Structure 1
Amino acid sequence: MTTVGFLGLGRMGAGMAARLIGQCERLLVHDIDSAAVAALVAQGAEAAGSAGSLGQSCDIVFTSLPTPAIVREAILGADGITAGGSPRMICDLSTSGPKLAAELSGALTGKGIASFDAPVSGGIARAHDGTLSLMVGGPEPVYELLRPLLERFGKPFYMGATPGAGQTMKLVNNLLGAVAIGVTAEGMAFGIKAGLDPARMIEVLNQSTGVNSATRDKWPKSVLPRTFDFGFAAALSLKDTNLLMEEAAAAGVPLPLGEIVRDYLERTLAREGPEADFTAIAKVVEEAAGLDPER
């Protein structure tokens, strides 16, 4: 049994952290939101008090944070995890990009800390259920020590020892997921304008070759009922898309569909505001098609 730390108790992190309670000797948690910490403490975790305390007290520390800059500061900053001590492993569950993963690996390896990137996919409900997919990059010799804890979150896929291997896979996944939303919004707008019933269209698509993650989950849950509350912010989706486009440009790989998705997300945020869900892309597409997105 080990002492595990978890930094970042947002909509995804809180669910994942809760699944570690009772699976390790002690679970220490921290977040800038004291209410989020209190909720985990009520379930059996301990409040660490700071990121540095996690580094001082824990064998393994997980991070689940919104942006690469926040991840970097939380791990390497003056008040970060490594300022407080040297855990055996640090595993970043955030989507923070291959570039940062390589930077973290270089810095942490020099301190004798095994660095893993393990971004997750599946959404808030699956974070609570422990049915996420995890794309893992990091040193293979110690991966088996980390794997049982990752399995509490869902199904881990080891992508290789290259720092950032998990992040690269996650960016590929997110590209396909975001493109699915965009192309589904386009097809649906065309059909609706031609007089087809949107609910019947989704029913047909989900039994046909046009089925995808957007037709299967996002339209039935969030777009058809016009709630646009699937649970992933357009701002975070844009952050992920920008990470992807930067990495692809550096690798010399043109991604024209990625450019379209980025434009849709930027227009969604401009139309709906900073709290918009990424399914609100449908409103942008509908408006451009001459439909009333507020219907």
Structure 2
Amino acid sequence: MTTIGFLGLGRMGAPMAANLLGQGETLLVHDISPAAVEGLVAKGAEAAGSAAALGERCEIVFTSLPTPNIVRQAIAEVISGGSPRIVCDLSTSGPKLAQDLHEILAARGIASFDAPVSGGIRGAEQATLAIMVGGPEALWPHVEPLLQRIGRPFFMGETPGAGQVAKLANNLLSLAAIATTAEAMTLAIKAGLDPARMIEVLNAGTGANSATRDKWPRAVLPRTFDFGFSAQLSLKDTRLALEEAEAMGVPLPTGERLAALLDRVLATYGDDADFTAMAKVVEADAGLDPERR
């Protein structure tokens, strides 16, 4: 029986880990939050007690963590306890870290997969995430069935970081959709058009996108700005994309503008602001009251 480890039980990690339960394997979990661990134990997982214990007991270890540095430190702890056969990072941690981890893990005979996900908390809960994967093709059959339980995996190639580059490109488009939708909606609202009717129109026409279909109805029109992904993490992802683009000699002027807009969101609304608060900054620039109902 395969023993699987899952490290990082946040808003994305907890539902992904839960979707790995119930297929016969043993699932060990760990997080800095005891409550998060208890929640998974109540569903049938076992508490590992530490990241090192995952490395000691598990054949395959998944990580879902917020920043590259935290991923690096966590995997160092995992391999301090033993040598799992495969480590698969589901975080958006950038291609540079994926390449570093590949070298570190390969030296210990451990295979490394980078497999960042897209689809938000709802996608994690419903197991509909898009998963962009880079790693050794020979071991892909061992990882793919597990990833299929949490979403739809796409194998992007054997180059370490292939999945990360795909995810960063996806995130740029997603954030650009939010920013452009905010500008279009602000133009319409300033002209006196009804916001809800305007979203209906956009979704019936060629302007439809992920922001008009999901983010505006759920978080912007009701003025809750609680879609479930932080502006801080969005800025982290955008900066990772800019760093990789600079290394490859690819200009990303739109990415630079998105980073500047997210900086303003955090400066205005604080570190806990949702990324949909980008709309409030655009509205305020146009003289609209961002706190209106």
Q: Which amino acid aligns with 1:8?
A: G
Q: Structure 1 residue aligned with 2:268, among 263, 267, 271?
A: 271
CA contact (8 A) 1:177 1:213 kept: yes
TM-score (normalizing by structure 2):
0.99
Deviation string, structure 1 residues 78-110 (Cα, Å, up to 9, x no partner): xx0000000000000000000000000011011
Map 1:60-209 → 2, pairs under 5 A: 60-76=60-76, 80-209=77-206
Instruction: Give me the whole-angstrom Cα distance separating, in 2, the residues matched to 1:146 and 1:44.
Output: 21
Instruction: Give me the whole-angstrom Cα distance separating, in 1, the residues matched to 2:189 and 2:258.
Output: 21
Aligned residues: 292
Q: Structure 2 residue aligned with 1:218, among 215, 219, 226?
A: 215
Instruction: Give me the whole-angstrom Cα distance separating, in 1, the residues matched to 2:287 and 2:175.
Output: 22
Partner of 1:245: 242
Partner of 1:25: 25
Q: Which amino acid aligns with 1:31?
A: D
Q: Which amino acid aligns with 2:46?
A: E
Post-superposition offset of 1:126: 1.3
Partner of 1:39: 39
Partner of 1:55: 55
Instruction: Give me the whole-angstrom Cα distance separating, in 2, the residues matched to 1:281 and 1:208.
Output: 23
Instruction: Give me the whole-angstrom Cα distance separating, in 1, the residues matched to 2:141 and 2:224.
Output: 42
Q: Which amino acid aligns with 1:133?
A: A
RMSD: 0.6
Post-superposition offset of 1:25: 2.2
Post-superposition offset of 1:24: 4.0
Post-superposition offset of 1:289: 0.5
Unaligned ranges ≥5, structure 1 = none
Please state whether the residue corresponding to 2:164 is helix, strand or coil. Answer: helix
Please state whether the residue corresponding to 1:206 is helix, strand or coil. Answer: helix
Partner of 2:10: 10
Structure 1's consecutive aligned runs of 4 or more residues displaced over 3 angstroms after TM superposition are none
Post-superposition offset of 1:129: 1.0
Q: Which amino acid aligns with 1:272?
A: Y
Unaligned ranges ≥5, structure 2 = none
Please state whether the residue corresponding to 2:42 is helix, strand or coil. Answer: helix
